[in-house]
């Protein structure tokens, strides 16, 4: 069974309060999603493998460590895009794939409409990124799309999850660890996370 990590950090809590507040405007919302993405990355990357190498400092040759695998960030369009800049800020060598999945507003079923990945994604540590883990349908579909490229090292990174989404993801992909900034109470009858932060894509891009 995969591990579920809910980040426990005062700075993340502070920024999540801003994201949850319905009075927070588009600019501040977008900046804050990116900032939480950056903070969360520190924890996600804790178990990344490293390899030893020799480095010559100005004083002498010493042992040093670098990441063993390349990292690929895969945002789920649209809302996942909001977290990419923050993650990329601290893993600047990461490359970026994209998956397009939207959720039908009536049935809540995921629909795939786009996929573009780096050619050698198979050997990378892949971060599938989406702020909202609601029914878990979109995240599960996106991870399946990534697995079809032969990837075996995958983590899901989100801002707000709920028990329904975590259960679905753990059932569908027991090998994928889940990292969240907050774990909320439940899904309402319209498929929104409660208390949540509303429609993340619309708040990021000012579409409502
Ligand atoms: C939202 C969100 C997730 C999905 C989560 O996207 O960004 O991708 O819903 O819901 P689920 O866990 O029930 O699948 P949406 O489909 O609204 O598209 P958007 O990112 O374009 O706003
Ligand atoms: N997608 C969102 O943007 N918000 C929710 O609460 C659920 C799905």
Instruction: Report the greatest alpha carbon distance in the chain.
Output: 65
pLDDT digits (tens, 9 = 90+) for 138-171: 999 999 999 999 999 999 999 999 999 999 999 9
Residue-number span of the structural domain to which 22 is assigned? 4-205
Instruction: Tell how far the Cα of 44 is from the centroid of ligand 1, in angstroms.
Output: 22
Q: Which residue has the higher pLDDT, 208 or 107?
A: 107
Number of domains into which the chain is organized: 1
pLDDT digits (tens, 9 = 90+) for 16-73: 999 999 999 999 999 999 999 999 999 999 999 999 999 999 999 999 999 999 999 9
Pick the catalytic residue from 30, 103, 155, 203.
103
CATH of the domain at 70: 3.40.50.2020
User: Which bound ligand lies closest to the C-alpha atom of 101?
Assistant: 1
Is there a catalytic annotation at residue 144?
no
Distance of alpha carbon 74 from alpha carbon 168, whole angstroms = 20
Distance of alpha carbon 201 from alpha carbon 57, whole angstroms = 46
pLDDT digits (tens, 9 = 90+) for 7-27: 999 999 999 999 999 999 999
pLDDT at 1: 86
């Amino acid at each position: 069974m995969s591990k579920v990590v809910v980040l426990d950090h005062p700075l993340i809590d502070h920024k999540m309060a801003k994201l949850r507040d319905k009075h927070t405007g588009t600019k501040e919302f977008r900046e804050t999603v990116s900032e939480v993405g950056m903070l969360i990355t520190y924890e996600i990357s804790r178990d990344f493998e490293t390899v030893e190498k020799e480095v010559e400092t100005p004083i002498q040759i010493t042992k040093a460590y670098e990441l063993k695998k390349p990292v690929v960030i895969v945002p789920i369009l649209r809302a996942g895009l909001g977290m990419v800049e923050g993650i990329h800020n601290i893993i600047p060598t990461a490359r970026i794939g994209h998956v397009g999945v939207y959720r039908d507003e009536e049935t809540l079923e995921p629909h795939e409409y786009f996929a573009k990945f780096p050619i050698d994604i198979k050997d990378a540590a892949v971060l599938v990124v989406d702020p909202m883990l609601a029914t878990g349908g979109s995240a599960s579909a996106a991870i399946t799309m990534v697995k079809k490229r032969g990837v075996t090292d995958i983590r899901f990174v989100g801002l707000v999850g709920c028990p329904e989404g975590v259960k679905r993801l753990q059932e569908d992909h027991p090998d994928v660890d889940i990292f969240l900034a907050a774990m909320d109470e439940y899904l309402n009858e319209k498929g929104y996370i409660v208390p949540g932060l509303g429609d993340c894509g619309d708040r990021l891009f000012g579409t409502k």
